[in-house]
Amino acid sequence: MTRLDRVEQTRTLTPRTAVIWAVLRGELDRRPGERLTVLDVGGGTGGFAVPLAEAGHQVTVVDASPDALAALTRRAAEAGVADRVRALQGDGDALAGLVEPATVDLVLCHSVLEVVDDPAPVVAALAAALRPGGAASVLVAGRAAAVLGRAMNGHLDVAAALAADPHGSAGPRDTLRRRYDADGAAALLAAAGLTVEEVHGVRVLADLLPAAVADGQPAALVELERALAARSPYRDLAAQLHLFARRPA
Ligand SMILES: C[S@@+](CC[C@H](N)C(=O)[O-])C[C@H]1O[C@@H](n2cnc3c(N)ncnc32)[C@H](O)[C@@H]1O
């Protein structure tokens, strides 16, 4: 049993995390026994950073929010991995001043590109931080799910605005600046020189089901999410899209 197995056994995999962990596990399994240098940009309170540190990796979290970093530091201490988690306040498009270029084995950027001013320089900074051959795990909000979700809740005007807006935002009151389809997100990463290897849908079903179903059959839901995640058209209707990409060696 690997250290990540032990970490996974102590945590409940949810529809939000199961597909992403499955992809990350594939990358970690390629390099058994190695202590990887991981960078989590916009890593928040450490939902991925702390388990990765528990699995033995050295993780730096760069986040704009001091509050999130304080919570991360507490969480890392409680998990006994404070020595393997470094918290840095900073901006995702200014990584060069915080992290030595071309030194990172695995970079995470989850639920960040939809809120930053401009995603392109952030993705360029992620790519520059990676060593040749290093991998990027990028999670973005899905556009189709947002359109369908607004419509199913009766907000047809918002659904129409989202569908028509070139960035997939419903306007100034929308909490997100943009949403993606798989091709658009892949093109963003490719423009920074990254080779996209896998695209999965995250939460294909979870947000559509009645709570009684989701809460009553959690293991079956996770299993079905994993079964549908890579298959079109299910993937393309997911609430989030997970892209796994690599800096060419
Ligand atoms: C929605 S949270 C996602 C947190 C975490 N990645 C996750 O998936 O649970 C977005 C995080 O990005 C951070 N953030 C937003 N804009 C940023 C920027 N320009 N540079 C760095 N972090 C940023 C926020 O402070 C917040 O912690």
Q: What is the pLDDT of residues 172-189, one digit of tens each?
A: 889 999 999 999 999 999
Is residue 72 over pLDDT 90?
yes
CA of 48 to the centre of ligand 1 (A): 12
The pLDDT, as a whole number, for residue 96 is 86
Output 212-219 pairs: Cβ under 8 A, ≥24 positions apart. 214/15, 218/12, 218/14
Q: Is 115 in the pocket of ligand 1 (CB under 6 A)?
A: yes
Residue 239: CB atoms within 10 A of its CB come to 22
CA of 92 to the centre of ligand 1 (A): 9
Band (4; pLDDT cuts 50, 70, 90): low
Global pTM reads 0.95
Q: Which protein residue's CA is at the shortest distance from atom 14 of ligand 1? A: 42
Share of the chain above pLDDT 90, in %: 89
Which tens digits make up the pLDDT trace of 130-145? 999 999 999 999 999 9
Residue that the structure tokens 């979700």 belong to: 149
The pLDDT, as a whole number, for residue 172 is 87
CA of 64 to the centre of ligand 1 (A): 7
Q: Is 44 in the pocket of ligand 1 (CB under 6 A)?
A: yes
Residue that the structure tokens 């293991």 belong to: 219
131: nearest Cα among 91, 167, 104, 169? 104
- Note the helical H segments in 100-142: 119-129
